[in-house]
Amino acid sequence: MALQKEYETSSGITANYHKIGKINYEKESGAYFEVEIYLNESARRDNKKPLETRTFYSENINVDEPLVTQLYNYLKTLPEYEGAQDA
């Protein structure tokens, strides 16, 4: 699972593939997680390094639903991921 959305990295490169990497989840407090941003899906499949990594936090975690799905859905509520498509 990943998201597709154009994003200009801090170095000026436009990338479009966003994949959740590391997740630090604690039941009592929520989840800190990293989103790895790749040039495109092909770069990710070829095991290239991400162009950029961003850290997010979500405290509204439902233990009855898959964590990764919840985190991707959370990202889609943020202004910078408005209109993002599942990949």
**Percent helix, strand and coil across the chain, each rounded to 5?**
20, 45, 40
Residue 10 has a pLDDT of 94
Angle at 44 between CA 39 and CA 46, to 5 degrees: 115
Residue 28 has a pLDDT of 86
Can you give the pLDDT of all 87 residues of the chain as single tens digits? 999 999 999 999 999 999 999 999 998 889 999 999 999 999 999 999 999 999 999 998 998 899 999 999 999 999 999 999 999
Among residues 55, 67, 78, the alpha carbon closest in space to that of 5 is found at 78
Among residues 77, 75, 59, 67, the alpha carbon closest in space to that of 23 is found at 67
Both structure tokens of 14 = 């436009």
Question: Where are the domains positioned within the chain?
Answer: 3-81
